[in-house]
Amino acid sequence: VGSPGEPPAGWTGKLWAVRHGIGMARARDPEYLLLTDADIAHAPDSLRELVAAARTGGFDVVSQMARLRVESTWERLVVPAFVYFFAQLYPFRR
């Protein structure tokens, strides 16, 4: 697995790395791609649920919101605001 190198102008490091990873994965012609952060702890059946949702719904993209761990006082103050603003950008289906 090669490094994507420095991102071109206008790209952030993370998005450049994601693009590189997707390009490398596509070379193997996968049926699905899982994009996740390294600090996400997945439930044992989360991948199975995502694939089932994609198949039964006929979706090209399926997204799952991670449950954010809040332990410290600062996390208890900041995380709810983060979730609120995230929901404003990407409204959650009720």
| Model pLDDT for residues 19-65, shown as the tens digit of each residue | 999 999 999 999 999 998 888 888 899 999 999 999 999 999 998 87
Q: Is residue 11 part of a domain?
A: yes
Q: Is residue 40 part of a domain?
A: no
Q: Is residue 43 part of a domain?
A: no
Number of domains in the chain: 1
Q: Is residue 21 part of a domain?
A: yes
CB neighbour list of residue 36: distance below 8 Å, 6 or more residues apart: 42
Are 13 and 7 contacting, i.e. CB atoms less than 8 angstroms apart?
Answer: yes
Structural domain harbouring 7: 1-30
**For residue 20, how far is the Cα from the chain centroid?**
15
Place of tokens 């994009």: 35
Q: Is residue 87 part of a domain?
A: no
Q: Is the pTM of this model over 0.75?
A: no
Cα dist from 23 to 18, 37, 39, 62, whole Å = 9, 17, 22, 19
Q: Is residue 89 part of a domain?
A: no
